[in-house]
Amino acid sequence: MAEKNFTIMEEFILLGFSELPNIQGFLFVIFLVIYINILLGSGLIILITNMEPALQTPMYYFLGNFSFVEICYTSVTLPKMLMNLWRQKINISLLSCAVQLCFFLILGVTESFLLAVMAYDRYVAICKPLYYRLIMNHKICVQMVIGSWVTGIPILIGQTYQVFSVPFCGSNKLNHVFCDMPPLMKLACGNTSGDEFFIYIDCFLFGLIPFLLILLSYVRILNTILKLPSTTGRSKAFSTCSSHLIVICLFYGSGITAYLQSKSSYSDTTDKIFSLFYTIVTPMFNPMIYSLRNKDFIEAARKLFCKCVGGRIT
């Protein structure tokens, strides 16, 4: 009988917010507004960093790529969530679930490495300013971005295959808003300690190591800033790094909390909250954090707006 359950499992039921049937329409509107804000905010950053000559620097090159990843990252989960809320259809096939999880993991790891690359860029700019153009040349920047994209792909494809190779028995109800690893492992049969071990290994490789590199970069940055004789210089250096630090805290704080918990301590409600935070809330705030705290970006946006308005008037 158990063997039969393993073979007929062809889809999952994403429970999501089914326990709140009276506010499905309200949630749809909220998530739609958030998704539009993410597309517009991140899209604007990509547009301005590519069109404004003053922003053709490694820092804004990485920011443009990070914004593109943010759009892809949210597009893996949010459209499906919106469709489920609109159509009241909450099933997802096993293949679609696997594809969603795989892309979700790959894009999440890409974000993690890009944040580390951006921290290294700030380290070179503040700690080795005379060698900045030599070290952070265009070729190196492109290689860093490509490396951030491809480093984890083979392992994460293997990880996704491993997760969906385990037998799922009993209920096919996935008490989550999208296909994520912790809720999937909760439905797995038998002893999954080995699979959980590999999940922790992946978290270490693709989460903790980039975080430690970021931490090391900022320790050296802080040490250099404190040695600056000018208060104005210290303030400017802190201002350059503050936006990036806020994004790091938001991304890693929620992500690590959601993934570094055992199956026994797993909580559906808590995990839903944290997953919504690092998949929706953080990408929504990131464009505002980077743009509103950056005078050069605000000036570039103003110039672009004036060009567009002037072109329409003429």
Per-residue pLDDT of the chain (314 residues; tens, 9 = 90+): 444 444 456 788 888 777 777 778 888 899 999 999 999 999 999 998 888 888 888 989 999 999 999 999 999 999 988 888 887 767 888 888 899 999 999 998 999 999 999 999 999 998 898 899 999 999 999 999 999 999 888 888 888 888 888 777 767 888 888 888 878 878 877 666 666 677 777 777 777 888 889 999 999 988 888 887 777 767 777 777 777 888 888 888 776 666 655 455 556 666 777 778 778 888 888 888 877 667 778 888 788 777 777 655 44
Write down the pLDDT at residue 43: 92
| Number of compact structural domains in the chain | 1
Write down the pLDDT at residue 4: 43
Gap between the Cα atoms of 303 and 242, Å rounded: 25
pTM (2 decimals)? Answer: 0.86
Write down the pLDDT at residue 89: 67
Residue 168 — φ and ψ, nearest 5°?
Answer: -105, 125
CB 69 within 8 A of CB 114: yes
Write down the pLDDT at residue 181: 81
CB 114 within 8 A of CB 146: no
Find the CATH number of the domain harbouring 161. 1.20.1070.10
DSSP codes joined into one string, 233-302: HHHHHHHHHHHHHHHHHHHHHHHHHHHSS-STT--HHHHHHHHHIIIIIHHHHHHHHHHHT-HHHHHHHH
Residues 6+ apart with CB under 8 A from 197: none
Angle at 160 (CA atoms; ends 159, 161), nearest 5 degrees: 90
CB 170 within 8 A of CB 131: no
Write down the pLDDT at residue 3: 45
Write down the pLDDT at residue 53: 83
Using the structure block, give the residue that is written with the tokens 């951030």.
148
Residues 6+ apart with CB under 8 A from 158: none
CB 76 within 8 A of CB 98: no
Gap between the Cα atoms of 12 and 175, Å rounded: 10
**Maximum distance among all alpha carbons in the chain?**
75
Write down the pLDDT at residue 16: 77
Domain assignment of residue 44, given as a range = 2-313
Look at residues 127, 111, 120, 104 and name the one whose alpha carbon lies nearest to residue 212: 120
Write down the pLDDT at residue 6: 46
- The stretches of the chain forming alpha helices (DSSP H) are 2-8, 24-51, 58-87, 94-127, 132-135, 138-150, 153-165, 181-187, 193-203, 209-226, 231-259, 268-276, 282-292, 295-313
3 state DSSP class of 175: coil
Gap between the Cα atoms of 297 and 46, Å rounded: 11
